[in-house]
Amino acid sequence: MANILIFGARSFIGTGLADALREAHCVELFSRGIEAKTDNIVYGNYLELRDNPCFATTYDVVINLAVLKDQSVDDNLRYAQALVDFCNTHHVKKLIHFSSIMVYNYAEKVVNEQTPIEKTTETYMRGYGEIKIAVDEYLAQHRDELSAQLIFVRPGYVLADERPCPFIINLPLGLYMIKGDKCSKQPIVLREDIHKALVAIIDTEKNNPIYHFFPSDGMTKYQYAKKTVGGPILTMPKWLFERIPYALAKLHVIPWSLYSRFQGMYIYSDFQSVQTEQKLQIHFNSLA
C-alpha cells in the first residue's frame, strides 16, 4: 500500500481518481485554503508547500494535476520549484506530473514518447499551452535535483460525464462543423482510462520517463465526428482559417499568439502511444 498525495484532485481529470486509488492505497488530497487538515484533505497555498505543517512526513507518490490557470507563467514556475522542494523534503519516490500534448510543436510529423517538446523561446502559444511547456522545461532541467523519479504524463483531450468535444460545433438544422479540415487531428482520451493507467504507473516499479495517454488509432476529427454525431458535417477550409491568419500575423496585423489558435486547428501529426500501452499493458480508446 502506497501513501499517495494528489495536487489538483478536484480538477476535471482528478474527479473520481482518489476513490479509484483508495481501493489499494492511502490517499490524501491538497486544496487551496487556509492551512489546515480535515480528514484526508490538506489545505494551503500552492506556492508555500514547504512551510505547510499539515502534510505527512513522507509520501511514496505525488500526482500533480494542478495548474495555476489564473496566474502567470512565473507563478507556475514558482509552484514547480515548490513542488521539487516538497518532494525532496517529504522523501517522495515518484512524482507523476500531468503535462499535455500541447507541449509538442504543431508541425511535428510524428509525436511519440521520444519527441522533444517545443521550447518556450520558440512557441507562439500563450496561456495554458505556454505554462505547460515552461513547467515541463523546468522539471526536466531539475530532474537531477529530485529525490523522486520524475514521470511525465501527456494526455489528449479528456472526455467524461457528457463533457462536449472541443472541436465539434453544433449548428442549426441538424448540421455540425469541425474546427479543422478532414485530415486534422486532436487525440481524445477517456477519463476512466487515465485513472486505470495511473494505477498501473503506481504499481510499476521501473517506469518510463514519459507516458502518452491517448489512442494510437490515427483518428481524425472528421472521423471522430462521423462516429459520434453522424452527419452532415462541415469543415473549415485551411486557406481561410489558417493561411490567412498566418499572413496577417506576418504583417503584424494580429499577434502570433492569436495565429497559434488557428494553427492548432490544423494538426496532422501521427500521434503514437504504443510504448505507453505496451509498458502499462493498457489500451486507450477514443470512444466510450
- Among the listed residues 248, 243, 223, the one whose alpha carbon sits nearest the alpha carbon of residue 235: 223
- Any domain includes 288: no
Q: Which residues contact 261 (CB under 8 A, 6 or more apart)?
A: none
Distance CA 53, CA 71 (A): 25
Write the pLDDT tens digit of every residue in 230-271.
Answer: 879 999 999 999 999 999 999 999 999 999 999 999 999 999
Q: Which residues contact 196 (CB under 8 A, 6 or more apart)?
A: 20, 282
Provide the β-strand partners of residue 168. 178
- Residue 47 scores a pLDDT above 70: yes
CATH of residue 193: 3.40.50.720
**What does pTM read for this prediction?**
0.95
Per the structure, the count of domains in the chain is 1
Distance CA 31, CA 50 (A): 15
- Among the listed residues 171, 169, 106, the one whose alpha carbon sits nearest the alpha carbon of residue 133: 106
Question: Could you write out the DSSP letters of every residue in 133-186?
Answer: HHHHHHHHHTGGG-SSEEEEEEE-EEE-TTPPPTTEEEPGGG-EEESS-TT---
Phi, psi dihedral angles at 162 (to 5 degrees): 65, 20
Q: What is the mean pLDDT of the chain?
A: 96
- Residue 130 scores a pLDDT above 80: yes
- Any domain includes 287: no
Domain that holds residue 225: 3-280
- Any domain includes 285: no
- Residue 288 scores a pLDDT above 80: no
Write the pLDDT tens digit of every residue in 161-217.
Answer: 889 999 999 999 999 999 999 999 999 999 999 999 999 999 999 999 999 999 999
Q: What is the pLDDT of residue 287?
A: 82
- Any domain includes 248: yes
Are the CB atoms for 149 and 208 separated by under 8 Å? no
Phi, psi dihedral angles at 189 (to 5 degrees): -140, 145
DSSP tally for the chain: helices H, then strands E: 9, 15
- Any domain includes 41: yes
Q: Which residues contact 63 (CB under 8 A, 6 or more apart)?
A: 4, 5, 6, 7, 17, 96, 98, 198
Output the nine-digit C-alpha cell for 272.
Answer: 503514437
Q: What is the pLDDT of residue 162?
A: 86
Side chain identity at 236, as an amino acid letter?
M
Up-side HSE of residue 154: CA atoms within 13 Å toward CB? 29
Side chain identity at 111, as an amino acid letter?
V
Write the pLDDT tens digit of every residue in 82-115.
Answer: 999 999 999 999 999 999 999 999 999 999 999 9
Give the angle 153-129-152 at the CA atoms, nearest 5°. 15
Q: What is the 3-state secondary structure (H, E, C) of 251-273?
A: CCCCCHHHHHHHHCCCCCCEECC
- Any domain includes 286: no
The sheet with strand 176-178 has its strands ordered as 168-170, 176-178, 233-234
